[in-house]
Copies of this chain bind each other. A is one copy, B any other.
């Protein structure tokens, strides 16, 4: 079953322990759709400027991402510049040039309105809702958000939460949005605000999946080398939804596997700069890494004495 991804398509200029990487491909919709595409037909809704390079378009086409919803507007593409600390645990924004993204009004192509699986990337909650207004009745809507919207547009965010099925959110932002430090209580409060499922991302510590009666702890793979954590969360969400769409199921067992797939693809993402870790992975690579996750957490059962 097919997927619609809405979010930013951007250039990122990244300063990290490896140097400066000017104007590499980035954006929440870019990462999420590259992660979802190996699983299911994926369409992207977003906007770029006239400066957006043909080879980036070509890359997305090669990954069979539907680009009918990618608007090319007069002006320049969204450009974010940031610097990571050497241990990659935090980053500061140096500049955010919204450019054509400032006037973005997502338009869902007519033939995509009946899409069953929807990912609302981390953009203004009003834009996220505008997308939902254009859709028939999706089976599952997953959304991301961040501190910027929690602080700046709390009312719109509250409205958006009522209309989604799955919220994917960082641990710190879950605490900020709920006002509760205890992560079990925070997730409970977020679920009461709308989404029946809440996924708390904990970076190198993995992720927690909260549902009505079930709690699932997914590990992250301890990696010897991390190049670039940019887009890891979007990648997680994209592969998560990709797996769900490939199974066309939203039961507990499917969602648990989907979280592990999200984590597995995100682990490839952070091993390369920009989207390079996602470009060449095949379904078999993902399965191999999912098996690594299974081995990583395997608890033997008691031998019979």
Contact = CB atoms under 8 A, between A and B. Distances in A.
Contacts of A298: 216, 256
A87 interface: yes
A185 interface: yes
Contacts of A206: 205, 217, 219
Contact of A302 (B181, B183, B223, B257): B257
Given A299-B256, A299-B293, A300-B256, A217 B208 contact: no
Interface string A104-131: 0000000000000000000000000000
A131 to B, nearest CB: 31
A253 B300 contact: yes
Contacts of A154: none
Binding site secondary structure of chain A: mixed
Contact of A222 (B87, B215, B260, B296): B215
Say how many copies of this protein the assembly contains.
Answer: 2
A217 B299 CA distance: 9
B222 A183 contact: yes
Contacts of A208: 222
B299 A257 contact: yes
Interface magnitude class on chain A: 35 or more
A217 B297 contact: yes
A292 to B, nearest CB: 9
Interface in A67-126: 86-87
A4 B227 CA distance: 45
Interface in A215-229: 215-219, 222-226
A182 interface: yes
Interface string A185-221: 1000000000000000010111010000001111100
A185 B253 contact: no
Nearest to A210: B222
B215 A87 contact: no
B217 A219 contact: yes
B296 A181 contact: no
A205 B217 CA distance: 10
A152 to B, nearest CB: 25
Nearest to A305: B247
A298 B294 CA distance: 9
Contacts of A294: 299
Given A86-B181, A202-B205, 10 more contacts: A182-B224, A182-B225, A183-B204, A205-B206, A206-B219, A217-B219, A217-B296, A219-B297, A260-B299, A297-B299
